[in-house]
Amino acid sequence: MKIKLTCLGLLLSTALGVGAQQPNVLFFSLDDMNDWVGAMGYSQAVTPNMDRLAKNGVNFLNAHTAGVFCAPSRAAIFTGRHASTTGCYATQVYFHNNPEINPLHKVLKDGGYATYGAGKLFHHTAGFIDQRGWTEYYFRTEQQRKEGWAINTWLLDDPILPDPYPNSIFNHDREPANKFFLEWGKIKNEDEEKMADTMRTEWACELLRQKHDKPIFVGVGLYATHFPNYAPEKYFDLYDADKIELPPYKADDLEDLPPAVKKAKTSRSAIHKRLESLDAVDDAIHGYLACISYQDAMLGRLLEAIESGPNADNTIVVLWSDQGYHHGEKFDWGKHTLWGRTSHVPFIWAGPGISKDAMVDATVSLMDMFPTLTELCGVKDGQDRDGTSLVPVLKDPSTAKDRDVLLPGMKPEEYAIINQSWRYIRYADGTEELYNVKQDPNEWENLANNPELEEVKKKLAASAPETFAEPGVLKHELTLVIEGDSYKWVSNKKPAPKKLLKNVKGALKMPRQNSDEAGKLLRDEIPFSETVPLKPK
């Protein structure tokens, strides 16, 4: 990118100099994208644009997510509040239970920004997207515009599928349910422009090429690294299929885990065993790598749109992923864990006022995005946030200091505390894990039962929250009541289903979602929403 170190706008923040304008922001979100980036030391990945972005900015090498899967991670990022505060350990949204919290995009809009969004920024959008504060949100189809996505239709979003379908050896003898399964395959190169992530990218590129009368925040959420991993054939061709490197595995890796964790992960290991029996572990990783390179190409388009237009010298870019993804590490395929493969993510900043070609290995959290952006953008935020502004580090990376960061689990009193040296994990039943990540980066040796390390555990545990909010209820347990220009959510006392997943012909099927009007939050009149009066119940 063409980046000038300029003094930034208005006396609204210490990050801004007198008389300069507020910067534009490209908020580039990836899905299930782990730390497989060339600039992060993973040489197998072909990521020239991510590497270029890192060269022109600050690359945080020890950044960790805010939640162990998509929904709580994105809720925490957009609120700047941990699940221990909001109760969003596993719920789809934060604003059902915490409507008083102003999300990032609303704070920026209130501070003078035009705010644009596309793709997966929130976890889902059928009643799960906080519509307050968007100037415009891009949906690819009329159905999405009116109804959003149900929980299982993120995977139906892309109009392009491989032929044959399913495409992978893992599923060649299966009938998929709602396309919600471990899967990968090649798309014809000529169909790249028809792919949903490409269309979202091009929509954002048009915004970034234009001159605007106010600063813009453009959020772009790509989906490709979330299974199913479909990408144009040319991105598969970037890798030699016979030389795909596998992550390191340890045969007895589950033996020193707490009993309940060991039992759960032993069950999950069936996916890995099936892949091994098919000699397809490298094939699955090949599909994931191809999607990384496809997303990298989309980033390249966005950077080119900035560089070729009127916003080249006044646009901040922040790249992040909602969490990582296991590819057989601890015999797991997925996320939902408190280990490093889930938590460690790419986190790169570039733009005016940000140092270039800097790598920071101090521990940081994606929770830091909210206060960092509001400070860089010169926007006042009158609410409490849990993160720490990284502006001093972005200006002078040598000032970075290591600290403990919190990663909440999927229920109260379940969490990890992470720093450069240690990962301490505590589960709700009181069992623990402890890893010396400097000496044991693969987290193979659980030291929690070592009596010599009791003080280490106590010191790390002291960084955990003193209290934990009760888990937030799910969307289908709430009804939206609008009274004038205010709203509230009330319980409709519908019990949650006992099981979230059903096994249908060997594939996973998500339960049907409610599609009633009460599933939509219509506070502001924005282009994609139809304001429908709702009667209090």
- Buried b / exposed e along 393-402 (16+ C-beta atoms within 10 A): bbeebeebee
Closest CA to 230 of 170, 176, 182: 182
Neighbours of 525 (CB within 10 A): 9
Residue with tokens 């009541």: 481
Residue 478, beta-bridge partner list? 491
Residue 164: predicted pLDDT:
82
Residue 201: predicted pLDDT:
97
pLDDT tens track of the chain, all 537 residues? 333 323 333 333 345 544 468 999 999 999 999 999 999 999 999 999 999 999 999 999 999 999 999 889 999 999 999 999 998 898 766 666 677 889 999 999 999 999 999 888 876 544 455 667 889 888 766 656 555 544 444 455 566 778 887 789 888 777 665 555 688 999 999 999 999 899 999 999 999 999 999 999 999 999 999 988 999 999 999 999 999 999 999 999 999 999 999 999 998 898 999 999 999 999 999 999 999 999 999 999 999 999 999 999 999 999 999 999 999 999 999 999 999 999 999 999 999 999 999 999 999 999 999 999 999 999 999 999 999 999 999 999 999 999 999 999 999 999 999 999 999 999 999 999 999 999 999 999 999 999 999 999 999 999 999 999 988 765 545 554 444 444 444 555 544 333 333 332 332 222 223 333 333 332 233 333 322 222 222
Closest CA to 347 of 10, 34, 45: 34
What phi and psi, each to the nearest 5 degrees, are found at residue 475? -55, -40
Residue 529: predicted pLDDT:
30
Residue with tokens 């507020």: 22
Residue 433: predicted pLDDT:
99
Burial class (CB in 10 A: 0-12, 13-18, 19+), 19: exposed
In the chain, count H helices and then E strands. 13, 23
Dist. CA 416–CA 434, nearest whole Å: 9
In this structure, are strands 24-30 and 315-321 parallel, antiparallel, or unpaired?
parallel
- Name the fold adopted by 24-519: Alkaline Phosphatase, subunit A (3.40.720)
pTM as predicted: 0.85
Whether residue 522 contacts residue 131, with contact meaning beta carbons closer than 8 Å, is answered with yes
- Taking 3-state DSSP, the helix, strand and coil percentages for the chain, each rounded to the nearest 5, stand at 30, 20, 55
Residue 487: predicted pLDDT:
41
Dist. CA 257–CA 1, nearest whole Å: 45
Dist. CA 520–CA 529, nearest whole Å: 9
Dist. CA 94–CA 100, nearest whole Å: 10
Dist. CA 492–CA 475, nearest whole Å: 10
Dist. CA 72–CA 456, nearest whole Å: 28
Neighbours of 330 (CB within 10 A): 22
Residue 129: predicted pLDDT:
59
Domain ranges of the chain: 24-519
Q: Apex CA 319: angle with CA 292 and CA 218, to 5°?
A: 110
Dist. CA 422–CA 534, nearest whole Å: 51
Residue 423: predicted pLDDT:
99
